[in-house]
Structure 1
């Protein structure tokens, strides 16, 4: 039997016992749903959390606390005899999380709002989708970290993972615990994610950890995950430090905009989480720093520091060659 955290994997056909996945918060007497998890090599989603146990009702509700259709996503709310009375000496939180059960015939029945996202499947089982407060929105897209973690955890070298948004520009970062000596590259992991999920759900940064930090109750503590740095970040190639003045200034610019400590001159701006809106800021910084106008198309065609430096150098040379003697003297002054 499983509990306490999300089940990411299906059992193998050689497992000598049946696997049962239980779900339920402490506020509802620990278990609210339960279901057997069968071996399924071709499964695309997380194992389900089964069906409601006896004397328990599960409702999937929208923001207006109305039931959503089968297959639609909403907040999982629990009713029935297992629902607690509330939190001791915390009336405000009790009022927020324990609400009237309008679907019950019992006059004083209440629902507990779990804060979990889920949906009912056609077969009556419930698919867990992650936490409402962990849902990420990047460039208008809503992303469920659990979906990305599910795909990453299928890699033979990954023992566990957690996906979060980092920085003001909200870039996806995946934190990984490697289970054996073979360390995958960032490119390999991006290709794995995009083989099943849309491009915008692929993390731009992959951070290797010895173990994931946990709270006292055993949950992953996302608040203390370390910042990505040169030592813990997986790369496609070995780190190559900036060599010229232009490369060094570009490295400083990109590190600042991407919220990274360092950027290799061979790192692809867009694979590090860059996008067209951030690209316009890069272009503006280049204009301010080097006095040349670079197009956004040039950034797409030359997305590394090494390539971009060459473009900037050519523009500077062209600008100097077209200067009058007086302008050149002013530039050198």
Structure 2
């Protein structure tokens, strides 16, 4: 039978493994049977609010297992969920809700004050009260029956390069297509135990969520504090017998830089899957030295293509300063490069990475102009509607068909008359043994490249090593050693914040 809805995964696993642990945090856990029962209770409570379907329902998330039961409750009601970080500033939350005009807002127990501050914008419902609501099977079956696989399953708001929130709308079919591919490609089964790191408002978590549902696996939500104390993190992974990590690359780098891998490692781990930022070979090599039997896989993809569109299982050695490919297209997706005139580029030449396939988002919620500028007609096909997504990322493809990420388009600069990719400079500097994190920024007014970094090296030593490894025109002009590199909520280096401090800040910093 054709699968139309991601909830089919939950139904199947609840039937096969009703008493098996599905999701757990420090305080609470759900078996598959409990998860389905809570979701259907909340779904009924939401359906009772009105006859409409396919409406957004905002869900305030605090990275707990109950958040996931709330997501599935929204889907049971025939709506789609929009995860929002409850730590987000109130004006930003209100702005997103004003854009959405949601059917309801679901909030965790204990967040009544915040919910009431938003209650003028939409109905609010405590998740726990919804979980306890008596389910109405006929009502829920009718609601689900109206949902097609092209209808939305979730929308994730990202700030993008401009700082203006964009709600990226993803369909059931896109999630099903990606989940089926990843489960097969990375050999996930019901025996896997996953250690979730990604917040639930970050699309990286979609992999943990739906692989768990499809395979009947188990996911433990890693306490945030454990990343501050990596020894505790290793203890957690060992205690829970975690077999799979699907992490943001920044978290992977953080653990490698901490030195903990030289002291203790989790013994049950079989696969580590990374994405979100460029994977650095130096940190990868530290993991591989400590856990050589683990399969490491580098994934790439913006939220607009349903999590990822390329993958690269790492099967050879890389020098510390070598760029790691992002690989080939995931199944049922086409990845290719276009130049500034939207013409295909040959192997070895850089171009904008573009994606075609069922994984493309439906667009940006309520933002038609942005949707039309990013999702365009495939210029190679003049005969019928055929959309592609322009990622804004520059990449190159080698003769073997492997793609390597270079930089964001806005990461390509003109300095001293040369066209330079800041990502290339970062790759070289990251290979210096004592460097931990590196971000390079360009000040076009003063024609200067800034290097902001964490690590034990002093600036003068970094400059000397950079001059030994880079052409003169690519060597940063200024070096700023910081105690802590700022990161955004998704774990990526917060480049807008760095620009505000080091480029647009006071002149004495320059």
* Pairwise same-fold verdict (TM > 0.5): yes
Q: 1:20 to 1:195 in 2, by over 3 A?
A: same
Q: In the alignment, which of 389, 393, 396 is matched to residue 119 of structure 1?
A: 396
* Cα deviation code 1:299-333 (max 9, x no counterpart): xxxxxxxxxxxxxxxxxxxxxxxxxxxxxxxxxxx
| Matched residue, 2:414 | 137
Question: Does the 8 Å CA contact 1:98/1:112 hold for their aligned counterparts?
Answer: yes
Partner of 2:453: 176
Flag the structure with higher strand content.
2
Q: Secondary structure at the match of 2:363?
A: coil
Name the CA shift for 1:216/1:141 in 2 (closer, same or farther; >3 Å).
same
2:276 corresponds in structure 1 to: 4
| Separation in structure 2 between the aligned mates of residue 90 and residue 210 of structure 1, nearest angstrom | 39
User: Which structure: larger Rg?
Assistant: 1
Find the counterpart in structure 2 of residue 81 from structure 1. Answer: 358
Kept in 2, the 8 Å contact 1:5–1:219? The answer is yes
Judge conservation of contact 1:213–1:220 (CA < 8 Å) in 2: yes
Aligned-residue offset at 1:104: 5.4
> Counterparts of 2:296 and 2:397 in 1: how far apart (Å)?
21
Aligned residue in 1 for 2:326: 49
Structure (1 or 2) with the greater helix fraction: 2
- How many residue pairs match? The answer is 230
Cα 1:65–1:202 shift into 2, 3 Å: same
> Which secondary structure state, in structure 2, belongs to the residue aligned with residue 210 of structure 1?
coil
Q: Give the unaligned 5+ runs of structure 1.
A: 230-255, 263-333
Query: TM-score, normalised on structure 2?
Result: 0.42
Measured on the aligned residues, the alpha-carbon RMSD in Å equals 2.4
Residue by residue, what CA displacement relative to the aligned partner does 1:152-189 show, whole Å, maximum 9, x if unpaired? 111221111100013621211111111xxxx3233322
Change in 2 beyond 3 A, CA 1:187/1:116: same
Secondary structure class of the residue paired with 2:335 = strand
For residues 112 and 37 of structure 1, the distance between their equivalents in structure 2, rounded to whole angstroms, comes to 27
- Between the aligned partners of 1:28 and 1:106, the Cα distance in structure 2 is 23
Partner of 1:61: 338
Output one character per residue of 1:228-257: Cα deviation in whole Å (capped at 9) or x when no partner.
69xxxxxxxxxxxxxxxxxxxxxxxxxx9x
Match of 1:200 in 2: 473
**Relative to structure 1, is the Cα distance of residues 167 and 35 closer, same or farther in structure 2, using a 3 angstrom cutoff?**
closer
> 1:8-23, aligned counterparts within 5 Å?
8-9=280-281, 11-12=284-285, 14=289, 15-23=292-300
> What is the distance in 2 between the residues matched to 1:120 and 1:66?
15
Question: What pairs up with 1:307-326 in 2 under 5 angstroms?
Answer: none
Residues 140 and 106 from structure 1, CA distance in 2 versus in 1: closer, same or farther, beyond 3 angstroms? same
Q: Secondary structure at the match of 1:224?
A: helix
Pairwise mapping of residues 1-333 of structure 1 onto structure 2 (< 5 A)? 1-9=273-281, 11-12=284-285, 14=289, 15-42=292-319, 45-103=322-380, 107-166=384-443, 168-178=445-455, 183-225=456-498, 227=501, 259-260=507-508
| Shift in CA distance, 58/104, structure 1 to aligned 2, threshold 3 Å | farther
Alpha-carbon contact 2:281-2:322 (below 8 Å) kept: no
The one-character-per-residue Cα deviations of 1:125-161 (angstroms, maximum 9, x if unpaired) are: 1010010012221121122111111111112211111
> 2 CA distance for matches of 1:69 and 1:104?
18
Contact kept? 2:411, 2:423, Cα under 8 Å: no
C-alpha distance in structure 1 between counterparts of 2:276 and 2:378, whole Å: 26
* CA distance in 1 between partners of 2:341 and 2:502 (Å): 39
Unaligned runs of 5+ in 2: 1-272
Please state how far the C-alpha of 1:119 moved relative to its aligned partner. 0.7
Distance 2:378 2:502 in 1: 45
